[in-house]
Amino acid sequence: MTLRSLSRKRKDVSLRPLDRPELIELVAGWLARKENYQWLDFGDGAQALTPMWLKILTQRKQTILRVYTSDEFDLPIGVVALDDVDPILHTARLWAVAGDKSFAARGYATRAASKMLTPGFRELGLHAINTWVVDGNPSIRTVERLNFRYIGRQRQCHYIDGQPHDRLWFDLLASEHEEID
């Protein structure tokens, strides 16, 4: 039995802080791939993050970054974040990237995002968490499984290969969140 076939059986995930240089390097490598960064926006037109910027993000109160791993193998397979955490307005934005594509489309990102939402609502006291997905990105399925509600479309504001795309905006209230087992 291969690692890949075993990973299909279990979908439990754990969240781990980016607290070691090798994890920061790994995640920065994931975020530097066009297949990932084309869907992202870290402000001021920045899509890819260097290891130095990622390290800075791990130290900001407004950003909570976690690597998600398969419980069975304890392998880092992606990153999930609450960003723009605002303790006064009780809001944040969720984003995630599947780094190891051999684990993609198996529910790991959904479970990791769900596990990130729970402490966001319970421990941080957030009332609403939003996210956006570029129109055409298959990760919209994750947003739907997490019960986010569609709240609007920001038209032609995201460029991929010189072509404008819409962003689809969603939000989730604390009262609507149910952690996915």
Residue 111 lies in a domain: yes
CATH number of the domain to which 96 belongs = 3.40.630.30
pLDDT at 30: 92
Strands 64-70 and 13-17: antiparallel
Q: Is the pLDDT of residue 5 over 60?
A: no
Q: Is the pLDDT of residue 157 over 70?
A: yes
pLDDT at 43: 66
8 Å CB contact between 108 and 68:
yes
pLDDT band at 44 (very low <50, low <70, confident <90, very high): low
Angstrom CA distances, 87 to 9, 66, 81, 120, 151, stand at 38, 19, 16, 11, 22
Residue 3 lies in a domain: no
Q: Compute the half-sphere exposure of residue 140: CA atoms within 13 Å on the CB side of its CA.
A: 13
Range of the domain at 35: 11-176
pLDDT at 70: 82
pLDDT at 96: 94
8-state DSSP, 122: H
pLDDT at 102: 65
R_g (Cα) of the chain, nearest Å: 16
Distance CA(133)–CA(112), nearest Å, equals: 17
- Average pLDDT, whole number, for the chain? 87
Q: Is the pLDDT of residue 1 over 50?
A: no
Residue 6 lies in a domain: no
Both tokens of residue 149?
């509600």
Residue 181 lies in a domain: no
Residue 59 lies in a domain: yes
Count Cβ neighbours within 10 Å for each residue of 110-139 and write b for 16 or more, e otherwise.
bbbbbbbbeebbeebebebbbbbbbeebeb
Residue 170 lies in a domain: yes
Q: In what order do the strands lie in the sheet with 76-86?
A: 13-17, 64-70, 76-86, 91-98, 128-134, 163-173, 149-160
pLDDT digits 0-9 by tens, 57-116: 888 899 999 999 987 777 899 999 999 999 999 999 999 998 887 677 678 899 999 999
Number of domains in the chain: 1
Residue 52 lies in a domain: yes
Residue 21 lies in a domain: yes
